[in-house]
Structure 1
Amino acid sequence: MNITKESIDALNAVVKVEISAADYQDKVDKILKDYRQKANIPGFRKGQVPMGLVKKQYGKSIMIDEVNKLLQESLNNFLVEEKLDILGNPLPKMQDDFNWDAEDYAFEFELGLAPDFDVDLSGKNKITQYNIVADEELLNKEVENLQKRFGKLVTKEVVEEGVNIAGSFANEEKGIDKKSTISLEDIKGKVNQKKFIGKKVGDVVALESKGLFDDDHKLMGALGLGHDEVHGLEIPLTFTIEEINVTELAEVNQELFDKIFGPDVVKSVEELKEKIKEDAEKQFQQQADQQLLNAVTEYLVENTKFDLPAEFLKKWLAVAGEKPMSAEQAAEEFDKSEKGLRYQLIEGKVIKDNNLQIDFKELQDFTKGFVKAQMAQYGQLNPEEKDLEDIVQRVLSNQDEAKRLQEQLMGQKLLTFYKENITFKVKEVNYENFVKEVYK
């Protein structure tokens, strides 16, 4: 057997695999002998079937199967031994004059090669790293939310500002009959709100779906409809009032502090706000880190230039899936996936060049931390080590779950690496301005 590689250019190559009868015949003969021993053919005793008959009946299919096995094994070994970094999978070149009746065969495969490039991490102050702070306005709002959460519901006779209203939305034509609880503050516009003011339990309010709430998601929840059904919906509605109440805010005092944090953990409004600030900024940090990782990804994709074997990849995409694609569909799919492929290559380069690979012990420790955090949410603060290890083993035995955790861990390692090696433009903002700037 002989395997050779011909470079077409820096990104494309052809591998030729030549297989002769000497490479596969012994294996074929061994299988045929085994078939002869087991063959059950009318007119012959078991094990006494003439070899010529066995060869005639099974010889060609066995030979083709063994040649294909040998071809796949030798090609894979060659790619590993030559350390060829390929994209997609080798594509067999069609041969119009190929003949399985010959004894010697030659197969050719097209390869798409990964590009050689460098990743420049010196983009000083070109990427913004947000430091999100909990400002006084947010802290005051969170204190009020806690007052509502630990407050008590007080029934009201009539609808007035600040109340919650329970009732049923209805539209006979659309088959809508949905119990919902709404806040008067969620109703959009003074005109709609005035329709509720002064109403009592049992009253029916006539409304229009269009412009009833400030976004479609609230309308979806109120009417129990899907996104597509709600989009552009313009129908009359009735709302039958069944209950009116308002939340009487809890007093900000030691009793409230103890209910939230336990006895004497917090003893003043200032300490309460400090706790809220600490918890909020931990959550903000997670969002800021994810945004930073996204921003670095975008920057590296935009600023790391290299070519791809585009034509090869389009041909490969056309045949790689469960259903073949046309050339036009494959080109469209390549355009959609090119950015993701570029970042995979960049990420792989960063990981390899900086030894950021994950070993199994790291993944186990990360999973253990994840499991402990999950258990803590349900009050299991000190699980037995053996129980913890058993759960970790079960989690990692699930391939999908193991892959998800591995991706999370790699994201953390990359983020730490980027923070240590890229100089960012640091910007301090409150949460509202962070959302405006990042998700505008």
Structure 2
Amino acid sequence: MNVSHQNTDNLNAVISIEITKADYQDKVDKSLRAYGQKANIPGFRKGKVPFSILTKMFGKSVRVEEINRLVSEALYNYIRDNKLNILGEPMTAEDMTVDLDAQDDFTFRFDVALAPELDVKVDKKIKVPYYTITVDDDMVKRQNEAFLSRFGKQVSVDESTDERDLIKGSMVELASDGTPLEGGITVESTIVSPNYFKSDDEKAKFAGVKKGDKVVFNPSKSCNASVAELASMLNTDKEKAANVTADFEMTVTDITHLQPAELNQELFDNVFGKDVVKSEEEYFAKLREMIARQLVPESDYKFSIDARAAIEKAVGDFELPDAFLKRWLLATDKERKAETIDDDYSRMVPDLKWQLIKEQIVKQFDIHVDDNDLKALAKRVAASQFAQYGMTGVPDDVLERYGNEMLSSKETRSRLINQATEQKIQTAIKESVTLNHKEVSMEKFQKLFETAE
């Protein structure tokens, strides 16, 4: 067997694999004998089928299978051993013809696309803006109000003073004349929250309502005729709720109001942990620090966009093996159409070029991800997920257990490897380029994206 390759240009090559009968026949004979030991063929005992019969019955298919296996191994071993940096996958040469029935010796030819050689150097010569978002007083105020609500308590009150109050009561369906509808829907007990009403007119009917009041409103209008919401509000099934359009009279039996937490040590401990903060001044300073940390990912995201643009500009434009890649995309994705491949491909080119640049950055900084990196990232992801449900300060062993469960999934592990690699690339870029630090308000920061678009 002989394997060689020849460049047709800087971005395309052909790999040729020449094999003779001697390269594969022993493997074919061995496979046939192994098959004969297991095959159940009428008229013969298992393991006693004559080799000539096996060859006649299965020789052709086994021969094809062994040739394909031999060629595939030779192709990918050659690419690996010769360190060919290819794009996509090798494809059978369009002008290659092979007759597996008539030939014993073969020459298989494969077209391959070669990645362009890039001169990528990320250093201080590359200047990238880094925007730090200013934490203003309104941000601190909103965050404080959020914590006051989160750690507040529900109390029963006589009168509603907030549209977020929960109104509990009984309901009865009304006829067109405003009297209870005979045979209509009666709800012994339900809870409504005007804050979630879709109609401002219906919401206004509950303003200042008191215990014992009777309120006439239209449940259907309050939720834009959402069958699921109606069924829940009226304690009935969806089929019945779908036909409800009438007004209802609700007799208020109770009002639950969220009483915000007080600005005291109990709140400080709930938010930041026991005795971490001991005064209002420290509390608001910590809030400001916390918000600033939460805004860092926003700044980093904008930096990643600007850094990519700056590095791409420094590298300059470069060509890709366009014809091959379009052919490969059509062959490997049956959903793609020949008439749209040019448009599809043009949309993919920017990200493909950036991916090739990133591969060079990985080499420049010798970036790799090990088990410790994955475990640390998995714990951070677990902590973030807990935080979404308001659970902070989760013990380290719990985070580690959840992280290990994530890594046990092959799909999740692969995703985390990609995420960790991406983070290391961004860190390497951030530490190596020249950062032009700029402080901006949130409003101006958001407008930076509008300008980019």
TM-score scaled to structure 1, two decimals? 0.76
Matches of 1:21 and 1:150, distance apart in 2 = 79
CA change 1:238–1:144 in 2 (3 A) is farther
Residue in 2 aligned with 1:267?
278
CA deviation map 1:44-89 (0-9, x unaligned):
5665554433322222222111111110010011111221111111
Residue 77 (str. 1) matches residue 89 (str. 2): no
CA contact (8 A) 2:113 2:321 kept: yes
**Which of 286, 289, 295 is matched with 2:300 structurally?**
289
Partner of 1:424, secondary structure, is: strand
Which ranges in structure 2 are unaligned for 5 or more consecutive residues? 170-186, 232-244
Matches of 2:135 and 2:336, distance apart in 1 = 51
Residue in 1 aligned with 2:128?
127
Residue 341 (str. 1) matches residue 352 (str. 2): yes
CA change 1:272–1:96 in 2 (3 A) is closer
CA contact (8 A) 1:301 1:339 kept: no
Structural mapping, 1:218-297, within 5 Å? 247-254=258-265, 256-257=267-268, 260-261=271-272, 264-297=275-308
> 1:103, CA displacement in angstroms?
0.8
Identity of aligned residues (%): 33
CA deviation map 1:359-378 (0-9, x unaligned):
34443455466668879957
Residue in 1 aligned with 2:425?
414
> 1:315, CA displacement in angstroms?
0.9
CA change 1:182–1:314 in 2 (3 A) is farther
Amino acid in structure 2 at the alignment position of 1:266: V
Structural mapping, 1:288-367, within 5 Å? 288-301=299-312, 304=315, 305-321=317-333, 323=334, 325-367=336-378
Amino acid in structure 2 at the alignment position of 1:105: F
CA change 1:347–1:220 in 2 (3 A) is farther
Matches of 1:396 and 1:373, distance apart in 2 = 16
Residue in 1 aligned with 2:182?
none
Residue in 1 aligned with 2:10?
10
Partner of 1:144, secondary structure, is: helix
> 1:144, CA displacement in angstroms?
3.3
**For structure 1, which segment, 329-338 or 156-165, has the greater mean C-alpha deviation from structure 2 after superposition?**
156-165
CA deviation map 1:204-246 (0-9, x unaligned):
346997xx99xx9xx999889xxxxxxxxxxx99797767665
Residue 91 (str. 1) matches residue 91 (str. 2): yes
Matches of 2:48 and 2:155, distance apart in 1 = 96
Partner of 1:203, secondary structure, is: strand
Matches of 1:35 and 1:65, distance apart in 2 = 13
Please report the RMSD computed on the Cα atoms of aligned residues, expressed in angstroms.
4.4
CA contact (8 A) 1:164 1:246 kept: yes
Residue in 1 aligned with 2:395?
381
> 1:117, CA displacement in angstroms?
1.4
Residue in 2 aligned with 1:31?
31
CA change 1:366–1:340 in 2 (3 A) is same
> 1:90, CA displacement in angstroms?
0.5
CA deviation map 1:77-132 (0-9, x unaligned):
11112211111110112457531121111111111111111235468686331212
**For structure 1, which segment, 281-290 or 95-104, has the greater mean C-alpha deviation from structure 2 after superposition?**
95-104
CA contact (8 A) 1:124 1:422 kept: yes
Residue in 2 aligned with 1:405?
416
Amino acid in structure 2 at the alignment position of 1:278: E
Matches of 1:302 and 1:317, distance apart in 2 = 27
Amino acid in structure 2 at the alignment position of 1:142: Q
CA change 1:96–1:271 in 2 (3 A) is closer
> 1:166, CA displacement in angstroms?
4.6
Matches of 2:2 and 2:319, distance apart in 1 = 31
Partner of 1:427, secondary structure, is: strand
Amino acid in structure 1 at the alignment position of 2:324: F
CA contact (8 A) 1:89 1:111 kept: yes
Residue in 2 aligned with 1:112?
113
CA change 1:29–1:181 in 2 (3 A) is same
Amino acid in structure 2 at the alignment position of 1:9: D
Matches of 2:299 and 2:114, distance apart in 1 = 36
CA change 1:313–1:43 in 2 (3 A) is same
CA contact (8 A) 1:129 1:424 kept: yes
The number of residues matched between the two structures is 414
